[in-house]
Structure 1
Amino acid sequence: MNPLLLDIALKHLLRRRRQTLVAIIGVAVGVGFFLAVSALMVGSQEDFIEQLIDAAPHIIVSDELRSPPPQPGARVYKDAAVALRGYKTRTEVRGLKDWPAILGAAGAFPGAVASPSLTGGVTLRLGGHEEALAIVGVEPALEARISTIEDKLRSGSLHDLETTQGGIIIGEAMAARLGVGRGDVVAATSASGTTRSLKIVGLFKRGDAALADSSGYVLLREAQSLLGRPFIINRIGVHLGDPYAAEEAARQLESRFGYKAESWQERSSDFLSLLVTRNVIMYSVVSAILLVASFGIYTAVSNSVADKRRDIAILRSIGFSEADLQLIFVIEGVILALIGVLCGWLLGYGLMGILGSLTFPVAGEDQNLPLDRGPRQYLIAAAASLFAGVLAAWLPARKAARVDPVDILRGAA
């Protein structure tokens, strides 16, 4: 860069200190609020996705078929009108067939942990009061590695299911409806008529969407015995080393074994599509903030061009080219944008500190706002501000450079 052009640009800015200060403040405020808003929005999104990923297994293989197999008559007479009469529907026992092979294949993915489970419905009874409960039989050591259930417990732990015979973990809301607490015993009756006494060894926190109030956890073999389904499981949860590889891993498992394998992306597709719309709205709003801030640079450079028309004519007459004159005013815009970005970074850092210190009661606990304080937002704000600043300065600079110096000097004379 020509030092002379830089010196001229600096002198222009220093001669109009008030307009220069207003332009810098405009950029700083735009960048600061861009950082605060984007940190809040991106942070909440990342926290939401993290909860989606960690709250449940990355892949769930269930004993369902995405597409039921065709009837034998339909296979023999393809594309024909077939009417079947007098046939008997075969009753099939639900559950994953050859589930040890599925468990082994799921655990073969890089960094994967697979946990078998059995789900079913029972009725809890205590003193004439009944509550329907969906129990999940798990292996505590494996389940703790594929989900964040341990973090959702108000009291007790998954390990208590192994150390207490007939142990069960239920939600606080369910316990309140039954009028029981940790250590109390309730009667559980399955659809097959089996009745068992279960001891409450843990309670889930209220208000957790991932754990319904009507769900409870027991030991896997306890669930198999209570539901009358020995050696049967109907679900395998898989936790991967790379959660974003879940879609491909689920596709491989489903194509190999035929059972429905859902990745966390598939289960949360509606939420993820809403996040895309949310991001478009967010970046549109914060980009408008930066665009408005760039008007200060445009005004400052335009006024500089208007005030320096005679100086522009003299510079042109002594040999300065159109490109040199454009560069002078573009340099002014870049200087204003750079100083504004630096001040905006400081303002945004302070605003994020204020937002991060705020706490809000959620499910009876004080929680801080999730913020994204990474360098990515700072770089986006700087790049957008510099681009807007250069464009805002270039528009009046291009007009100034095309002025005929003879006409300006004649008018001045």
Structure 2
Amino acid sequence: MFKPCSFFIGLRYAGAKRRSQLVSFISLVSMLGMTVGVALLIVVLSVMNGFDKEMRERILGLVPHITISSHGEHSDWPAVESIIRQHPQVAAAAPFVQLGGMLLHGTDVESVMIYGIDVKREAQVSIIDQFIQPQALQQLDQQADSVIIGRALAQRLNLHSGDHVNIMIPQQSAQGKTQPIFKRLQLLEQFNTGTELDQSVILLSLASAQPLLAGNPSAQGLRLLLHNTFSAPRVAWEIEQNLPYGYSSRDWTRSHGNLYSAIQLSKQLVGLMLFIIIAVAAFNVVSALVMVVTDKQGDIAILRTLGASPRQVMMIFVVQGSLIGLVGTVFGVLLGLGLSASVGDMVAGLEQLLQYQFLNSDVYPVDYLPVDMRWWDVSLVAGTAFTMSILATIYPAWRAAKVRPAEALRYE
């Protein structure tokens, strides 16, 4: 413990004007550096957490956790489903048809992924119903030759509700010739998930999609929802071991695993770089305190002659440096929280002002800037920054404690 005089003198030194303007400038720079470093780190971690959250809750809520497909011409899907449901990790299952094809509207052509769904069961394994009006889903189930299209895809083809489009699915005949299948569809509605699915996915009812299989049984399968998303590789392997010959499984880590790993790696690397910025700010605290010790050698010598112990002198400069770090950290946290709360709206407003989209779902996981502030990360950043500031005071404070009164007062 240190006596109150060390604390009050440290506070006095932190706010007092110094004979050297350079010392005051370096102290201000170190405080601002700490503020900027802490604020940037909180904002970046919040944004990376936002991408992580959207990946887990939105993207993985739209894509299958596991898909089961067949390589044979005849499949007993009810029996396969009964086997799958015995696994404790399987929460729900629903049939689907997935085909690649071309969407034609006038002279415009786009490659698309045709996804046939069981409307009544799809909501059990997917959150797609959150982006489509309930009446549109009912019409998709009841109205033959109807389709629901992603908004980005519809905009590229200049499609509106009620328009008719044609889909073409390449098929190979028994003689090896390509004989495409054409189907005319009416657009019911557009869905906007804010993900890459908006760029290329169209939804049909299962009854409308099944006639398009044309001898391609591997395009039909079961989609599974798991209780634990990240257990998908293990669960897929265990399920496949219990299925008859001719069935295979595929989990989300094979289609979107690289994206999730990239988000996690980016978060770690960016966090490391910004922690280095905080370390540089802490080093500035060292520089500032070393110059303060040089500036205050006469005062230190007087304190020593009045009976102050080396420990008390040391604590004076620990308090001063800690105060610089504390002020920088507090203002950094406040600035970081404010920016994190508004950065999404700021980016959206800037996109609208410039008429330019910074995030596009055909390049990035989502077409908006997600933010997820986590108090654990804020506490970790603030605690680390303040701890580094305290550690940065040790060497200058030790230098101050080693000042010899006689030598310091010789030229005063």
Matches within 5 A, 1:41-120: 41-63=48-70, 92-93=72-73, 97=76, 99-102=78-81, 105-106=84-85, 108-109=87-88, 112-120=91-99
For the pair 1:140 / 2:126, whether they are aligned, the reply is no
- State the match for 2:364 in structure 1: none
Tell which deviates more after alignment, 298-307 or 155-164.
155-164
Alpha-carbon offset, residue 376 of structure 1: 3.1
For the pair 1:344 / 2:332, whether they are aligned, the reply is yes
- Cα distance change, pair 160–382 in 1 and its aligned pair in 2 (3 A): same
Alpha-carbon offset, residue 283 of structure 1: 1.7
Alpha-carbon offset, residue 132 of structure 1: 7.9
- State the match for 1:385 in structure 2: 385
- Cα distance change, pair 321–245 in 1 and its aligned pair in 2 (3 A): farther
- Cα distance change, pair 370–253 in 1 and its aligned pair in 2 (3 A): same
Alpha-carbon offset, residue 282 of structure 1: 1.3
Alpha-carbon offset, residue 337 of structure 1: 1.3
For the pair 1:272 / 2:226, whether they are aligned, the reply is no
For the pair 1:32 / 2:32, whether they are aligned, the reply is no
Q: What's the TM-score, normalizing by structure 1?
A: 0.73
Tell which deviates more after alignment, 129-138 or 32-41.
129-138
Contact (CA 8 Å) 2:84, 2:90: kept in 1 or not? no
Alpha-carbon offset, residue 284 of structure 1: 3.3
- State the match for 2:323 in structure 1: 335
Contact (CA 8 Å) 1:59, 1:264: kept in 2 or not? yes
For the pair 1:13 / 2:11, whether they are aligned, the reply is no
Task: Measure, in 2, the Cα distance between the counterparts of 1:135 and 1:16.
Answer: 72
List alignment gaps of at least 5 residues for structure 1.
65-91
- Cα distance change, pair 176–345 in 1 and its aligned pair in 2 (3 A): closer
Q: Deviations over 1:169-221 (max 9, x none)?
A: 355757986989636486988847998976425344589522564x5433324
Q: Answer with 1 or 2: which has the greater Rg.
A: 1
- Cα distance change, pair 335–106 in 1 and its aligned pair in 2 (3 A): farther
- Cα distance change, pair 402–168 in 1 and its aligned pair in 2 (3 A): same
Q: Paired residue for 1:220, among 189, 203, 206?
A: 206
Letter in 2 for 1:115: A
SS of aligned partner of 1:260: strand
Letter in 1 for 2:162: R
Matches within 5 A, 1:143-182: 143-150=122-129, 157-170=136-149, 173=153, 182=162
Task: Measure, in 2, the Cα distance between the counterparts of 1:166 and 1:60.
Answer: 25
Tell which deviates more after alignment, 232-241 or 384-393.
232-241
Task: Measure, in 2, the Cα distance between the counterparts of 1:35 and 1:299.
Answer: 25
Report % sequence identity.
Answer: 25
For the pair 1:252 / 2:232, whether they are aligned, the reply is no
- State the match for 1:374 in structure 2: 374
Q: What's the TM-score, normalizing by structure 2?
A: 0.73
- Cα distance change, pair 41–196 in 1 and its aligned pair in 2 (3 A): closer
Contact (CA 8 Å) 1:154, 1:204: kept in 2 or not? no
Alpha-carbon offset, residue 332 of structure 1: 1.7
Contact (CA 8 Å) 1:31, 1:381: kept in 2 or not? yes
- State the match for 2:223 in structure 1: 237
Q: Paired residue for 1:210, among 192, 197, 220?
A: 197
Task: Measure, in 1, the Cα distance between the counterparts of 2:8 and 2:395.
Answer: 21
Alpha-carbon offset, residue 286 of structure 1: 1.8
- Cα distance change, pair 187–242 in 1 and its aligned pair in 2 (3 A): closer
Alpha-carbon offset, residue 386 of structure 1: 0.8
Alpha-carbon offset, residue 112 of structure 1: 1.4
- Cα distance change, pair 248–390 in 1 and its aligned pair in 2 (3 A): same
Alpha-carbon offset, residue 377 of structure 1: 3.6
- Cα distance change, pair 103–110 in 1 and its aligned pair in 2 (3 A): same
For the pair 1:308 / 2:296, whether they are aligned, the reply is yes
Alpha-carbon offset, residue 401 of structure 1: 2.3
SS of aligned partner of 2:371: coil
Q: Paired residue for 2:273, among 285, 308, 311?
A: 285
Alpha-carbon offset, residue 241 of structure 1: 3.3
Task: Measure, in 2, the Cα distance between the counterparts of 1:41 and 1:180.
Answer: 35
Alpha-carbon offset, residue 113 of structure 1: 1.8
Task: Measure, in 2, the Cα distance between the counterparts of 1:300 and 1:275.
Answer: 38
Task: Measure, in 2, the Cα distance between the counterparts of 1:164 and 1:308.
Answer: 86
Alpha-carbon offset, residue 137 of structure 1: 2.9
Task: Measure, in 1, the Cα distance between the counterparts of 2:105 and 2:16.
Answer: 85
- Cα distance change, pair 305–163 in 1 and its aligned pair in 2 (3 A): same
